[in-house]
Amino acid sequence: MINPKLAPLGKIIRENLRDVPDFPQTGVLFRDISPLLANGEAFSQLVKGLADFYRGRVDLVAGLESRGFLIAAPVAVELGLGTLMIRKAGKLPGPVIGIDYGLEYGKSRMELQPDSIKEGARVLVLDDVLATGGTVNASAALIKRAGAIVESVCVLMELEELDGREHIGDLECEALTLI
């Protein structure tokens, strides 16, 4: 169910989304947010709307590789907070902690720099899509391992047919649009 306070943001996303069949591999229908990012007015409304919704509730905004970075950084700036990058293995320098996880179309590993998070920080995790829940679960496990709290997860789109929400346990997850 979509939070009524976030419903206008879902409309913005739906109006600025492109479907790309067979990407990144045959049989996958990719939901491309490039038109949203290219529409300055729509993207600005999305960023401000997310910041207003989470203002005062979080201390840090995490973006998941790679489209999550594009959402997390401007939301963090709007909130006056820092941004945490959760990246694919081997992309972050220095000490990292990592976890292996499953994707809609394969397996991967993600990492974060634990010295980028203060103990007990309330973290908002932002990403473009909730599919199987693997990426969300992996990022939440890493954040908890680093000593912080996953306050909320927010995704632009939830792919309902993949039942990702059923696999993320008790994590608070706001989806802006259901597909």
**DSSP bridge pairs for 177:** 157
Predicted pLDDT at 101: 87
pTM for this structure?
Answer: 0.94
Element (H, E) at 101: strand 97-103
The answer to whether 155 and 165 are in contact (CB under 8 A) is: no
Tokens standing for 163?
């039942």
Handedness of CA 148, 150, 156, 162 (dihedral sign): positive
* Band of residue 28 on the pLDDT scale cut at 50, 70, 90: confident
Q: Which residues are catalytic?
A: 67, 104
Among 99, 112, 57, 103, which Cα is nearest to 79's?
Answer: 57
- The mean pLDDT of 5-28, rounded to a whole number, is 96
